[in-house]
Amino acid sequence: MKGMEEDMEIEKLQGIIEAILFTMGDSVELGKIAAAIEHDEDTTKKIIHNMMDRYEQENRGIRIIELGDSFQMCTKKEVYEYLIRIAKQPKKYVLTDVLLETLSIIAYKQPVTKLEIEKIRGVKSDHAVNKLVEYGLVEEVGRMDAPGRPLLFGTTEEFLRRFSVQSLDELPVINPEQVEHFKEEAEDEAQLKLDI
> Which residues have CB under 8 Å from 52's CB, separation 6+?
63, 64, 66
What is residue 88's predicted lDDT score, i.e. its pLDDT? 76
Do 2-80 and 102-195 share a fold? Answer: yes
CA–CA distance, 18 with 38 (Å, rounded to integer): 15
What is residue 53's predicted lDDT score, i.e. its pLDDT? 92
Long-range contacts of 36-40 (CB under 8 A, 24+ apart): 37/13, 39/13
What is residue 132's predicted lDDT score, i.e. its pLDDT? 94
Ranges of each domain in the chain = 2-80, 102-195
Domain 2-80 carries which CATH code? 1.10.10.10
CA–CA distance, 178 with 187 (Å, rounded to integer): 14
CA–CA distance, 69 with 45 (Å, rounded to integer): 10
What is residue 103's predicted lDDT score, i.e. its pLDDT? 93
What is residue 102's predicted lDDT score, i.e. its pLDDT? 93
What is residue 172's predicted lDDT score, i.e. its pLDDT? 79
| DSSP annotation of 146 | S
Supply the angle between the helices 114-121 and 97-109 in degrees, to the nearest 10. 120
What is residue 59's predicted lDDT score, i.e. its pLDDT? 85
CA angle 120, 121, 126 (to 5 degrees): 110
CA angle 131, 108, 193 (to 5 degrees): 80
What is residue 106's predicted lDDT score, i.e. its pLDDT? 93
Q: How do strand 70-75 and strand 28-29 relate by DSSP bridges?
A: antiparallel
Residues of the chain short of pLDDT 70, as ranges, are 1-4, 90-91, 174-176, 178-183, 185-196
CA–CA distance, 12 with 129 (Å, rounded to integer): 42
Phi-psi region of 144 (alpha: psi -120 to 50; beta: other; left: phi over 0): beta
Domain 102-195 carries which CATH code? 1.10.10.10
Query: Euclidean distance between the first and final Cα of the chain, in Å?
Result: 69
